[in-house]
């Protein structure tokens, strides 16, 4: 891999991670959805770049799925859902932005410290991609914990999947099965999330998950 090709791949990987951090401080639902859409678009570019430089055309399929489905279709669906259900557009974080960002930095450092020594025999690009991917995959759950809002939890889940696909395109010769299945799972998962929203909407006026917890099984009797 030439110097420039490596630099671009590296840049795209880092951008995916940066966008994960950008997700952590969004207070508006629509902004969070846009950020995760942007992350999916960058991921698509990263997959396409790998397809070109490594001459593995099946990665174009992964890129196309990420771009069409995750960067365009799902965000549009989520925006529509928010309008349709009149969901309030601001989200109160459970804990402050500073703390969330601090935890995020800690998680990223841990991911790098775990992956880099582990993969000493692999190429530099793969090692860094894997470290970034693990960080992104762990920042997703952090976002889901930090915001008790069903839409943000979907966004966190999607960003987690973005991280996993970044890892999958970085690993050389990973069979297509896995990529296709990830894309498939996202499709199904989002569909189901959508179904859930409707049922939540039928019963509650807000999508605030903490209100659901008032109904916890042990207490409702």
Contact residues: other proteins, CB under 8 A: 114, 117-119, 121-122, 130, 133-134, 137, 140-141, 144, 150, 153, 157, 160-161, 164, 167-168, 171-175, 177-178, 181-182, 184-185, 188-189, 192-193, 195-196, 199-200, 202-204, 209, 212-213, 215-218, 220-221
- Compute the least distance from the CB of residue 63 to other proteins, in Å: 18
- Compute the least distance from the CB of residue 211 to other proteins, in Å: 9
> Whole-angstrom Cα distance, residue 38 to residue 10?
17
- Compute the least distance from the CB of residue 4 to other proteins, in Å: 25
| Extended strands (E) in the chain | none
Nearer to other proteins, 3 or 214 (CB): 214
- Compute the least distance from the CB of residue 70 to other proteins, in Å: 15
> Whole-angstrom Cα distance, residue 196 to residue 199?
5
For 183-221, b/e burial (b = at least 16 CB within 10 A) is beebeeebeebeeebeebbeeeebbbbeeeeeeeeeeee
For 164-173, b/e burial (b = at least 16 CB within 10 A) is bbbbbbbeee
Answer yes or no: are the C-beta atoms of 20 and 159 closer than 8 Å: yes
Nearer to other proteins, 82 or 165 (CB): 165
Residue 178 structure tokens = 């896995």
Answer yes or no: are the C-beta atoms of 35 and 26 closer than 8 Å: yes
- Compute the least distance from the CB of residue 11 to other proteins, in Å: 22
């Amino acid at each position: 891999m030439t110097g420039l090709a490596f630099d671009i791949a590296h840049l795209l990987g880092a951008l995916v991670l940066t966008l994960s951090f950008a997700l952590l401080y969004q207070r508006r639902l629509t902004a969070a959805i846009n950020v995760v859409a942007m992350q999916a678009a960058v991921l698509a570019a990263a997959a396409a770049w790998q397809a070109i430089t490594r001459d593995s055309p099946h990665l174009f399929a992964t890129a196309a799925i990420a771009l069409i489905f995750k960067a365009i279709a799902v965000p549009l669906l989520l925006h529509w859902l928010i309008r349709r259900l009149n969901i309030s557009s601001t989200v109160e974080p459970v804990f402050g932005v500073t703390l969330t960002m601090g935890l995020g930095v800690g998680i990223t450092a841990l991911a790098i410290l775990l992956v880099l020594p582990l993969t000493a025999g692999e190429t530099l690009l793969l090692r860094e991609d894997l470290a970034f991917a693990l960080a992104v995959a762990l920042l997703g759950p952090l976002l889901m914990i930090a915001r008790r809002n069903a839409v943000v939890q979907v966004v966190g889940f999607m960003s987690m999947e973005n991280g996993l696909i970044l890892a999958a395109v970085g690993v050389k010769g990973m069979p297509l099965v896995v990529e296709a299945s990830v894309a498939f799972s996202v499709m199904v998962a989002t569909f189901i999330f959508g179904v859930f929203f409707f049922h939540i909407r039928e019963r509650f006026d807000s999508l605030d998950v903490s209100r659901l917890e008032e109904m916890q099984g042990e207490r409702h009797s």
